[in-house]
Chain A
Amino acid sequence: MPDDRGSPDLAHGVPPVAVSSTSTRVNLTGSWKYIRPVYQDKVAPCNQGCPVGIDIEGYMNLLREDRIEDAIGLLLRENALPAVTGRVCYHPCENACNRAWLDDAVSIHGVERMLGDLAIEQRILPEPETPRPETVGIVGSGPAGLSCAYHLARLGYTVTVYEAEAEPGGILRYGIPEYRLPKDVLAHEVNRIRALGVDFRCGVQVGRDLPLNVLESHDAVFVATGARRGRALGIEGEDLPGVRAGLDFLREVNRGGRPALGHRVVVVGGGNTAMDCARTALRLGAEVLVLYRRGREGMPAHDEEVEDALREGVRFEFLAAPVRVESTERVPDREPLEAIEATFDRFEGEPPAPHVAGLTCTRMRLEEPDRSGRPRPVPVEGSEFFVAADLVLTALGEDPDFDFLPEDVERASGVVRVNALNATGHGALFAGGDITDEPHTVAFALGSGKRAAVGIDRYLRFRAGEIGDGADLSELRQGPKGNISVTRWVGGDPVRRTDPVNRVVTFQETNPAHFAPVARAADRHLPPGERRLGFREANLGLEREQALAEARRCFNCGVCNECELCLVFCPDLAISRSAGGGYEIAYEYCKGCGVCATECPRGAITMTREGL
């Protein structure tokens, strides 16, 4: 247009009417600015919050674009067991979610579970990289071992997993009950790892059935034997038959056993093992009482588990601790426990042959916080009382057992010492999961297995002279904390990135004005009454449509998803679409107002000082 506006009649020196003949584009108004916007790809808080190191934001965005297959692909790049974590991970990602400041966190676990189940249903198998000549041995097939095996197989290695139990899975197989994690879900995900070529040798306890030096045939070894040694009560009568380690009880039930429990089971402890014991015992027909020495707030068990236990009819005695287990000889005519609910009269069997009479307990009160920062429970003198029970299950926490490891593997306060990529410093020996110093959760175990896989890959490639050892680990992280992205290690990220910076986006950097409040979808559940009748899965997750709606609630923090608002709102028309996707800024016209950065719904634009 500007060209054919015609030129003024200058015959008399002055045009009769001043007619424009050029555009304002000759004014390079960009020289006015002292700050400039730049597109910057940042880290979503959920991505940093996930100990596995999943690109949650990335798959949420793919789902928003209805690219379900690609979303599954992105998820499977980082997580070996999405159908498992979608069910049993305590989802710290959701605690970090920016959306919580607007209404409620995105149901990340619900979306992950839907994708994990779809991956099983569609038998999706990720492509491995080019095969490598080295072999790796893995001891223990819990989530840490499975994760390491999966990622190493994908990296092209030949992997052998040695497992003491008859089937792989560790706590996932023998600890977590069927009603929280159906065995066939786990089996499907393990089969995916098998399909990648991983060889599982089950029923082989390293150190007993197989000498440790057999592992020397491998180029590297990852040890993740977990924490299974239950802590003792440390009180009189603890050795009586009728007192049982909770984990041992869960293992029996998970193997298909249905032990007789008697009418009343008392579970001692307040962690997740305690909740699983209580809810399992309930399903076997017993009345269940949980004894815990602190209050409800002090329970280490995950909130949802406690809620579920309460809903199903588990009773709790807080601020109480056992002082003595009483045999039937000592207390022959005990007071019966008040029946919890009439539903329990279906129990008709006899108490188990060796059973106890109950527990003598003491009331506790809370004093000044101890070193862990939690209030310290102390007994209230003269407050003893009796609790009747046929069976006592102890669930006071589990400690790792790695006596079979070489003497010179460094240990510190009961754990194996490892570096940032889980190397023990003892040759090619790596370790992860519950035997190392990290929270005992499935997600941390999966994350440690992945870190070790990257560590082993780096170690073997370095040994083969393919790479130097100077790689900057912080570049593999999503945010400044510990998790790492295997995609960043391998390369080939399918997400279009602008200028990636390893900084987490705060809620203040997002623009919630562009999001209307939408209620978070709640997981569907079996009715509590039905749950008690068996081991059917209690939490049914989200419908596919609900999960997709959750993905649309996601802000996609920190990563441009081409919503185009920056372009729409720029008063200076300085922003345009670029050929390869995304946008570019004409800095010769941009006046640095910052409207684009302020309006970007997800903090994907940063204002920077001019000339820096």
Chain B
Amino acid sequence: MSQHLIKDLIPREELLDSGHLACPGCGAALAMRMVLKGLGENTIVALPACCWSIIAGPWPQSSLHVPLYHTAFETGASVASGIKAALVARGDTETTVMAWAGDGGTFDIGLQALSGAAERNEDFIYCCYDNEAYMNTGIQRSSATPWGAWTTTTPAAHPEAHPKKDILSILAAHGIPYAATATIAHPDDLIAKIRKAKGIRGTRFIHILAPCPPGWKAGDDETIALARMAVKARVFPLLEVEAGQRWRITLDPPREPVGPYLRKQGRFRHLSDADIAQIQELVDRRWETLERRVRDGG
């Protein structure tokens, strides 16, 4: 990506305010900032419990320049469906409704509601900002936590024993019109996907990798670097899937091994070289599957 194009590709409009309550270097805060640039002012957000419940500010403050509904942890997709239905009932078909949930609220407790809405092809954009654990409540594992990671519920002696759930495939399997991955390190790609999603009707799902310095035990300044490295290491490929069928890799930078990416994070400090080799294998296998899907379709 050429740095001198980036600024021209990114809308100047800011719909997030300073003074929000995210930690220094928070990827989730940046993710919202960029997504709103892509969506514009005519947007309503449904927000289940997560770090963003805090980042948005305590009553009577809000860090957003668009309406935001705080809702129960498991209800992101249902509340978004409801808001959309209410808008349509009032004759407003233009306002974009976005559910904005963490990985816990998406991969785990919110999955039933999301699956139901996706099956009905409810007309909203569902963004999952993924920091790979329940961060707001103090770093408990979720089904988005990668194999081998430390969290407070998967201590270094018994680190996370299951590979990260493949949420994109699950959503794609619902046959929704658009599903994509993005990261905060690739703002041009992210905003292009958000704009594309905005132009489509039905359930659209965007999975955004949003590194979390305290939860990943990484430097506050390394958020962007980590997201960038995750893509290079193919731990988090940048994709889009249309109608659950047409898989496409949107950005495929020169490949790098997973080691440097993992070693940059304290949550992987306990891993041996053999563990890292195993992760590499897992990543390689998933990449092969992905390439097959790109080639042969869904």
Contacts and interface: CB of A to CB of B under 8 A. Distances in A.
Interface of A: 1-2, 5, 8, 18-29, 32-33, 64, 513-516, 563-565, 567-574, 586, 589, 591-595, 597-599, 601, 607
B220 to A, nearest CB: 4
B290 interface: no
Contact of B17 (A18, A32, A570, A573): A573
What 4 pairs between A and B have smallest CB-CB spacing?
A: A594-B221, A593-B25, A589-B18, A564-B7
A24 B25 contact: no
30 contacts: A1-B65, A20-B57, A20-B60, A23-B61, A24-B19, A24-B62, A24-B63, A25-B17, A26-B61, A27-B20, A27-B57, A27-B61, A28-B19, A514-B3, A564-B6, A565-B3, A567-B7, A568-B187, A571-B22, A571-B25, A572-B22, A573-B18, A586-B18, A591-B24, A593-B220, A594-B219, A594-B220, A595-B25, A598-B221, A598-B224
B221 A593 contact: yes
Given A25-B19, A26-B19, A592 B24 contact: yes
Contact of A32 (B1, B24, B63): B24
B12 to A, nearest CB: 9
Given A569-B224, A594-B221, A29 B18 contact: yes
B43 to A, nearest CB: 12
Interface string B35-64: 000000000000000000000110111110
A87 to B, nearest CB: 31
A25 B187 CA distance: 24
B222 interface: yes
Nearest to B213: A593
Contacts of B4: 64, 563
Contacts of A25: 17-19
A125 B23 CA distance: 56
Given A5-B62, A32-B24, A572-B29, A563 B7 contact: yes
Residue picked from B213, B221, B225, most chain A C-beta under 10 Å: B221
Residue picked from B27, B57, B60, B65, most chain A C-beta under 10 Å: B60
A23 B25 CA distance: 20
Given A28-B19, A32-B24, A22 B61 contact: yes
B10 interface: yes
A175 B14 CA distance: 63
Contacts of A8: 60
Contacts of B27: 571
Interface of B: 1-4, 6-7, 10, 14, 16-27, 29-30, 33, 56-57, 59-63, 65-66, 184, 187, 213, 219-225, 228
Residue picked from B4, B22, B33, most chain A C-beta under 10 Å: B4
Nearest to B34: A568
A569 B24 contact: no
Residue picked from B2, B14, B61, most chain A C-beta under 10 Å: B61
Contacts of B7: 563-565, 567-568
Contacts of B66: 1
A27 B66 CA distance: 19
Contacts of B14: 573
A595 B223 contact: yes
B62 A2 contact: yes
B24 A20 contact: no
Residue picked from A19, A591, A595, most chain B C-beta under 10 Å: A595
Contact of A574 (B6, B18, B61, B65): B18
A303 B23 CA distance: 54
A511 B62 CA distance: 34
Nearest to B57: A24
Given A23-B63, A27-B57, A574-B18, A563 B26 contact: no
A27 B60 contact: no
B261 to A, nearest CB: 13
B18 A598 contact: no
Given A573-B17, A573-B18, A573-B33, A24 B61 contact: yes
B6 A595 contact: no
A24 B20 contact: yes
Residue picked from B1, B3, B22, B62, most chain A C-beta under 10 Å: B3
Contact of B221 (A26, A29, A513, A595): A595
A320 to B, nearest CB: 48
Contacts of B56: 24
B220 A23 contact: no
Given A568-B10, A591-B24, A594-B25, A563 B3 contact: yes
Contact of B30 (A513, A571, A591): A571
Contacts of B224: 569, 595, 598-599
A27 B18 CA distance: 8
Contacts of B63: 23-24
Nearest to B7: A564
A21 B67 CA distance: 11
Contacts of B61: 20, 22-24, 26-27
B19 A568 contact: no
B62 A23 contact: yes
B220 A24 contact: no
Contacts of B219: 594
A514 B7 CA distance: 13
A21 B170 CA distance: 39
A28 B21 CA distance: 10
Contact of A2 (B33, B59, B65): B65
A236 to B, nearest CB: 63
A595 B26 CA distance: 10
Given A595-B220, A598-B224, 12 more contacts: A20-B59, A23-B17, A26-B61, A514-B3, A567-B7, A568-B7, A569-B184, A571-B33, A573-B14, A589-B18, A593-B223, A607-B221
Nearest to A32: B24
Contacts of A29: 18-21
A592 B26 CA distance: 12
Given A1-B65, A568-B187, A24 B17 contact: yes
A24 B4 CA distance: 32
Contacts of A567: 7
A563 B6 contact: yes
A607 B221 CA distance: 11
Contacts of B187: 568-569
A63 B238 CA distance: 34
Contacts of A568: 6-7, 10, 187
